[in-house]
Amino acid sequence: MSIEKEKGTYDIIPDDSLVFYSVRKNIEKIFQTYGYFFCETSSIQPEELFKRTIGIASDIVTKEMFYIESDKPRFVLKPEETAPLIFSLFENRLADSKVYEKFFYFTKVYRHEKPQKGRLREFYQYGAESLGDFKKERDGEMILLAEKILNQFGIEDYELNINNIGCKNCRAGYLNLLKDYFKKNQDNLCKDCQRKIDTNTLRIFDCKNENCKKVSLNAPLITDNLCSSCKNDFEELKDFLKENDLSYNVNPYIVRGLDYYEKNVFEFVETGGNLGSQSTLIGGGRYRYKKDNVLKNDITGVGFAGGVERLILSIPENVKKDLKREESCDVYVAHMGGKTFERSLKVVYFLREKGIKTDIFYNEARINKILSLASKKNVKLVLILGEEELSEEKITLKNMETGFQKKIKLDEKILLEEIKTEISNV
């Protein structure tokens, strides 16, 4: 092809689109079941928004934004959905609404990174925000909800990691403590890490260098340096998870890359090896949008985001097959042309009117051709209306899974009942 696409982008077309679409519907259904309301903001957002929320020093802001040619102020393709959504809710006076306080989204986001497995430049994120006071029930529901999504798609190889990254009262103190520790030991750190001491202290924990690992091993941990409020919040979350039989690991090294996170944070990590080195399925936690010249008060809440493509990569093949089936027609009608075609169309229109997913092959074709097509389309039932059936005022109903078939009276109401019972058996 002479026209090249942007790397790290892809098109959603069959068969994969069937899985994608089913995943989307299932996710949205779960959110609604938990009382969350759908939202989606524009893909085009002011750069300023992300600078002030996810942080001027964050990787996303410093090197991963797609800039759009436009008048001032500079606009970017949104790299995440939380900040645009929170600001939109604030502008529309919904940030402290009691009617609407829980929101979900399913939207495209953009990050200019080098693509690899599980990492794209344009990808979908699903996520939720629950605005209001910090409460263990809010955090807990978020985690239950996130896990519910993984379970819905038969994903079993994952771990839940939690941490508390502190708040304005204890976080800065801890960082200073950590900086002092690394400065004392900087001779044993690699050059990269020496540079990180002042700019990106926490990232030293991620270094793969053996010497750095050794130094990190004895470094002070955030979990040992929390203020009483954070400590209490963390314990409450653990209690909640225990009460709800959720197993978790405390991972004091979890770092959130976005500045607005505070206190309890969590991550669902894939352990089945389906995501290569990009193992994070879902990341989330509590956050605080500090009051400034735009926000009149602090906005607090808890939320999470998951990558749709990573989720799909983690879904077992047999589950994907079922999802595809969910998206295909229930009934496919085979006719033999002429009057059988005319009569078949009436059946099709009737069934559609009754909410049965029904389709028909417009052209005249041999029966084995149509059945083969029906099989490829994953339909559950085929109705056959040939000259033979028409002359007896009957229609053949064939279950494509079992192969069982029977002739029934060519009467729409009787047909509908038969179809309903057959479908519910599949």
Partner RNA sequence: GUGAGUGUAGUUCAAUUGGUUAGAGCUCUGGAUUGUGGUUCCAGCUGUUGGGGGUUCGAGUCCCCUCACUCACCCCA
292 binding RNA? (CB under 7 A): no
Q: Is 342 in the site for RNA (CB under 7 A)?
A: no
Where would I find the beta strands (DSSP E) of 240-399?
249-250, 261-270, 280-289, 299-307, 331-335, 358-360, 381-385, 394-399
Is residue 405 within 8 Å of residue 399, measured between CB atoms? yes
Stretch that binds RNA, among 12-20, 44-52, 386-394, 418-426 (CB under 7 A): 386-394
Distance of closest approach, residue 84 Cβ to RNA, in angstroms: 14
One residue of 375, 409, 411, 414 binding RNA per CB under 7 A: 375
* Window contacting RNA (CB under 7 A); options: 35-43, 134-142, 301-309, 355-363: 301-309
Judged by beta carbon, residue 144 or residue 227, the one nearer RNA is 144
Nearer to RNA, 55 or 227 (CB): 55
Asked if 328 is part of the footprint of RNA (rule: CB under 7 A), the reply reads: no
Smallest distance from the beta carbon of 226 to RNA, in angstroms? Answer: 21
Where b means 16+ CB within 10 Å and e means fewer, 260-296 reads: bbbbbbbbbbbeeebbeebbbbbbbbbbbbeeeeebe
Tokens of 214: 């050794």
Adjacent-strand bridge partners of 76 = 45, 67
Sheet holding 66-68, edge to edge: 44-46, 75-77, 66-68
Q: Which of 16, 59, 322, 412 binds RNA (CB under 7 A)?
A: 59
Interface with RNA includes 425 (CB under 7 A)?
A: no
> Which of 279, 314, 344, 358 is the binder for RNA (CB under 7 A)?
279
Told to check if 7 binds RNA by CB under 7 A, we report: yes
Nearest CA to 241 among 159, 326, 180, 182?
A: 159
CB of 46 to RNA, least distance (A): 19
Please name the helix (run of DSSP H) or strand (run of DSSP E) that holds residue 126, with its range, or none.
strand 122-131
Write the CB contacts of 230 (distance below 8 Å, at least 6 apart in sequence): 164, 166, 167, 169, 170, 263
Query: What span, in angstroms and rounded, lies between the C-alpha atoms of 318 and 14?
Result: 17
Q: Is 277 in the site for RNA (CB under 7 A)?
A: yes
Residues near RNA, by CB under 7 A: 4, 7-8, 58-60, 64, 80, 111, 113-120, 123, 125, 200, 203, 206-208, 255-258, 267, 276-283, 305-307, 309-310, 336, 366-369, 371-372, 374-376, 384, 386-389, 396, 398, 400-401, 403, 405
